[in-house]
Amino acid sequence: MPLHRSSARSAPSPRSASRPASDGPRATFPTTFPPEFLLNEELPRDHFPPRGGQPHVLHQAIAEELLLDGNAKQNLATFCQTWEAPEVHQLMDLAIDKNLIDKDEYPQTAELESRCVRMLADLWNAPGEAIGCSTVGSSEAAMLGGMAAKWRWRDRQRAAGKPTDRPNMVCGAVQICWHKFAKYWDIELREVGMRENRLCLDPADVLERVDENTIFVVPTMGVTYHGLYEDVSGIAAALDAYEAKTGVDIPIHVDAASGGFLAPFTAPDAAAWDFRLPRVKSINASGHKFGLAPLGVGWVMWREPQDLPDDLVFHVSYLGGDMPTFQINFSRPAGQVIAQYYDFVRLGREGYAAIHGQAHAVAQECAATIAEEDCFRVVHDGDPTKGIPAVVWTLADGVTPGFTLYDLADRLRMRGWQVPAYPFTGELAEQAFQRILVRRDFNREMADLLMRDLKAAVEHLRAHPSTTNTAARRGYTHT
Lowest mean pLDDT among 67-81, 397-411, 425-439: 67-81
Residue 270 predicted with pLDDT over 50: yes
| DSSP code string of 342-387 | HHHHHHHHHHHHHHHHHHHHHHHHHHHHHHTSTTEEEEE---TTTB
| Average pLDDT value for residue range 86-101 | 94
Check residue 70 and give its pLDDT: 82
Residue scoring higher pLDDT (126 or 3):
126
Confidence of residue 281 (pLDDT cuts 50, 70, 90): very high
- 140: helix, strand or coil: helix
Check residue 130 and give its pLDDT: 78
Secondary structure tally for the chain: helices H, strands E: 12, 15
Check residue 71 and give its pLDDT: 87
Lowest mean pLDDT among 79-88, 322-331, 373-382, 451-460: 322-331
| Average pLDDT value for residue range 177-188 | 96
| Average pLDDT value for residue range 48-63 | 91
Residue scoring higher pLDDT (41 or 147):
147
AA letter at 141: A
The tens digit of pLDDT for each residue in 7-49 reads 444 444 444 444 444 455 665 655 555 555 567 788 999 999 9
Check residue 163 and give its pLDDT: 97
At residue 70, φ and ψ (nearest 5 deg) are: 90, 180
Residue 221 predicted with pLDDT over 70: yes
Check residue 452 and give its pLDDT: 98
| Average pLDDT value for residue range 409-426 | 96
Residue 5 predicted with pLDDT over 50: no
The tens digit of pLDDT for each residue in 357-408 reads 999 999 999 999 999 999 999 999 999 999 999 999 999 999 999 999 999 9
Compute the Cα dihedral for 47, 51, 53, 55 and give only its sign.
positive
The Cβ of residue 98 has, within 10 Å, a number of other Cβ atoms equal to 18
For 376, how many CA atoms within 13 A lie in the half-sphere containing its CB?
Answer: 23
Confidence of residue 317 (pLDDT cuts 50, 70, 90): low
Check residue 105 and give its pLDDT: 85
Residue 4 predicted with pLDDT over 60: no
Start and end residues for every CATH 3.40.640.10 domain found in the chain = 89-343
Residue 89 predicted with pLDDT over 50: yes
Strand partners, 377: 394
Confidence of residue 321 (pLDDT cuts 50, 70, 90): low
Q: What is the mean pLDDT of the chain?
A: 89
Q: Which CATH class is domain 89-343?
A: alpha beta
Confidence of residue 174 (pLDDT cuts 50, 70, 90): very high
| DSSP code string of 165-217 | S--EEEESS--HHHHHHHHHTT-EEEEPPPBTTB-S--HHHHHHH--TTEEEE
Q: What is the pTM of this model?
A: 0.88
Check residue 313 and give its pLDDT: 84
Closest alpha carbon to 171 in 155, 189, 186? 189
Start and end residues for every CATH 3.90.1150.160 domain found in the chain = 357-463
Q: Are strands 4-5 and 27-28 parallel, antiparallel or unpaired?
A: antiparallel
Domain covering 357-463, topology: Aspartate Aminotransferase, domain 1 (3.90.1150)
